[in-house]
Amino acid sequence: MKHVHSTHPAVIKRLRRAGGHLASVVAMLEEGRPCLDVAQQLQAVEKAITQAKKALIQDHLDRCLQNMVQGQGDQQAPSLDEFRQITKYL
């Protein structure tokens, strides 16, 4: 059974962008490019992956966990909302 959400295409796009940046980093190192240039490109890789991770986690919270607690009454909703808010700081 496939597990696909509406945000997955955006996450895939971010990860492909990160893959492109990473390939650039490898090429830059092979070419002997300056460390500052390589570090900047590595920062782009890291940021793209971090953003993809955040989008995936937030989507999971919004879709999967929300569906799990819906049947358990309103007492779980404030805890889930607080958890969702704090994960923005990951």
Question: Are 63 and 56 spatial neighbours (Cβ–Cβ below 8 Å)?
Answer: no
Distance CA 30, CA 26 (A): 6
- Return the pLDDT at 23: 95
Mean pLDDT, consecutive 10-residue segments, the chain of 90 residues?
Answer: 81 92 95 96 92 86 70 66 76
Helical pair 8-31 and 35-60, crossing angle rounded to 10 deg: 160
